[in-house]
Homo-oligomer: A and B are copies of this chain.
Amino acid sequence: MRAVVLLSGGLDSATALALARHEGFTCHALSCSYGQRHGVELEAAARVARHLGAVEHRTMNVDLAGIGGSALTDATLAVPETPTKGIPITYVPARNTMLLSLALGWAEVLEARDIFIGVNAVDYSGYPDCRPEFIAAFERLAALATRAGAEGKPMRIHAPLIEMSKAQIVKRGLELGVDFSMTVSCYQPDKAGRGCGRCDACRLRRAGFEAAGIADPTRYQ
């Protein structure tokens, strides 16, 4: 069975891909170039897709930088290096809605009925579109939005990490053979893909390895 797996090049989506493969899916990996300043993650995604046995990896371009509003796509906004309250400035407006809609379109063309996304509610940094109720709402939407759904074959949206802690994700990924040194989580990595060690994504990642009692293979600047 075919599945479309959203793959950012980070730790979570790599583990989601490994889980999809473990469940027996033939995986078509989809990355999105949306004007993010951490474009080096797309190179990581290509490596991870090969490493974990995706049959195909595509990168689609969407110019979210044109709408701005996020420190990840607007070079004039700084990435915070200390924890902030509420929804952080690194939130990209409607990003997961857009990513899932692209995955949905590709899944329809592939006649796949399964989409995997590595969102995570526990360590979710306050992003509204990482919550279980968001995923459930997208699944209901997908059943109405597509040709297959209209013909009574709804799409399943899998978010297998959604209730896991970062430490649990790290452990599960390692069990499934994920080489986390290939992945890039940092919001502002250098050109070699090395993390800053200070942004939310680096802090959550580092804390996850610590809590799991596993040596952190991440390359820092």
Query: What residues make up the interface of A, taking CB atoms closer than 8 Å to B?
Result: 58, 60-64, 66-69, 87, 91-98, 100-102, 104-106, 108-109, 128-129, 131, 133-134, 137-138, 140-142, 144-147, 149-150
Among candidates B62, B106, B144, residue contacting A128 with C-beta atoms closer than 8 Å: B144
Among candidates B66, B101, B131, B149, residue contacting A101 with C-beta atoms closer than 8 Å: B101
Task: Determine how close the nearest CB of chain B comes to the CB of A34; give it in whole angstroms.
Answer: 10
Residue of B nearest to A129 (CB): B145
Query: Which 9 pairs of residues, A with B, have the shortest CB-CB distance?
Result: A69-B109, A94-B105, A93-B108, A128-B150, A93-B105, A97-B101, A98-B101, A94-B104, A137-B141
The complex is assembled from copies of this chain, and their number is: 2
Task: Determine how close the nearest CB of chain B comes to the CB of A150; give it in whole angstroms.
Answer: 4
Give chain A's interface secondary structure class.
helix
Which interface residue of A69, A93, A95, A142 has the most chain B CB atoms within 10 A?
A93
